[in-house]
Amino acid sequence: MQSNPPIENLVADLFDVVATYQQGSRVAFALAPRFDGARASAALRERLTTAGYDFTLDGAELSWLLIIDPKPKLRVPTLNILLFFLTLLSVYVVPIFLSALTQSMLIIAQQVQAPLEGILDEFRLMALAAPSAWSRTLERMSNGDGIEFTLAIISILFIHEMGHFVASRRRHVITSWPYFIPAPNIIGTFGAIIKSKSPFWNRRDLIEVGAAGPIAGWIVAVFWLIFGLTRSHILPNDAFTPEMIGFSLEGESILMRLATLSTLGVAPDGFSYHLSEGAFAGWVGLLVTAINLLPIGQLDGGHILYGTARRLQHTFAIIALGSLFFLGFVSQMWWVFAVMGLIFGIKHPPTLNDGIRPSRFAVGMAVASLVIFGLSFTPIPFR
């Protein structure tokens, strides 16, 4: 990472710097707010705290004094650490439990004489199946199930988010540490997010920060995919049990298709690919990367396309949103992302200085991101 940004850069969008004083190892800034002083000071306090600075900020209305140690310290907040370990636990336990729950529910359903109808019966069946599902979960965990998947998913998410974090620090954009999100779904997480606490100064910074995460995470996902495919097999369809990950190449990404065919060959009729935990995690990584690279609003793809083409981002976002609605008729999960795009907005806001052209390096990162999207997008991930 580059040297720490001048403090003037961190306050420039909130305050005018009236005067600067040296106080030993600290620097004092006399500031005049650009808008409401209370809101500007609150935003500055949050930004400097997130960046790890030791400072005091006092004042009222039109006159404020900032005294700051210009060398920030890397402090990881307790909440971020707690969420990371909760996510680590949920990624390890939840997918195995959900698989075991499905297996237990099927067994109990076969033993029930009366047909099961309605959501109430489903809840009753789940309640009956939960104890045996938990026993199956502990048994599978004792056999080593879930370890490879957990390492793979967490490493993909962690490297993706740290790609954003390191690039933001390099470009003097203040962001939070990653917030990992545990979840009761088939992979045990909703991913991770980073909150921006300062604006993007120009389009070059927007591209570099936006592209660094997907590129870094994608490289890790490809590693796990290739490694996992060497431990995967082709099995008859009737050999699959509920806890096994069955897979076909219908509706798959270009990269997944090429990697699977070159590693395992063609699956004959009546056969499917049995993916190892690492291969499945790699597949998830490709899917999540492609979703992040959609050119919509505040997604990574929205950052990259706005930084590269500015006004064209809105046009491509509309096209992408329409495509998601169309694909939703085949795989309904795309309707969820289309609705989220409408809720959070598809148009990207400008940077503080859109007039600065992106560097060749930034444009290269944008091109690499486009290639990654083309290789990784999965039109029909689930039916």
Could you give the percent of the chain with pLDDT greater than 70? 96
Cα–Cα distance list, 344 to 2, 336, 347 (Å): 33, 12, 9
Cα-based distances in Å from 88 to 26, 101, 149, 286: 40, 20, 11, 20
Cα–Cα distance list, 28 to 47, 64, 70, 333 (Å): 17, 10, 10, 52
Q: Cα 224 vs. chain centroid, distance in angstroms?
A: 17
Q: What is the pLDDT of residue 283?
A: 96
pTM above 0.85, yes or no: yes
- Cα dihedral 327/332/333/339 (nearest 10): 80
In one-letter notation, the amino acid at residue 339 is V
Classify each residue of 10-44 as buried b or exposed e, where b means 16 or more C-beta atoms within 10 Å of its C-beta: bbbbbbeeeeeeeeeebbebbbebeeebeebbebb
pLDDT at 106: 81
From 2-16, 19-33, 200-214, the region with the lowest mean pLDDT: 2-16
Give the confidence band of 118 by pLDDT, cuts at 50, 70, 90: low
Q: Count the neighbouring beta carbons within 10 Å of the beta carbon of residue 338.
A: 22
Q: Which pLDDT score, from 0 to 100, does residue 119 have?
A: 61
Single-letter code of the amino acid located at 39: R
Looking at the predicted structure, is the pLDDT value of residue 383 above 80?
Answer: no
Neighbouring CB atoms inside 10 A of 220's CB total: 21
pLDDT band for position 3 (cuts 50, 70, 90) = very low
Residue 113: which pLDDT band, with cuts at 50, 70 and 90? low
Domains (ranges, CATH) in the chain? 7-68 (3.30.70), 78-226+284-376 (no CATH)
DSSP code, position 296: S
pLDDT at 2: 44
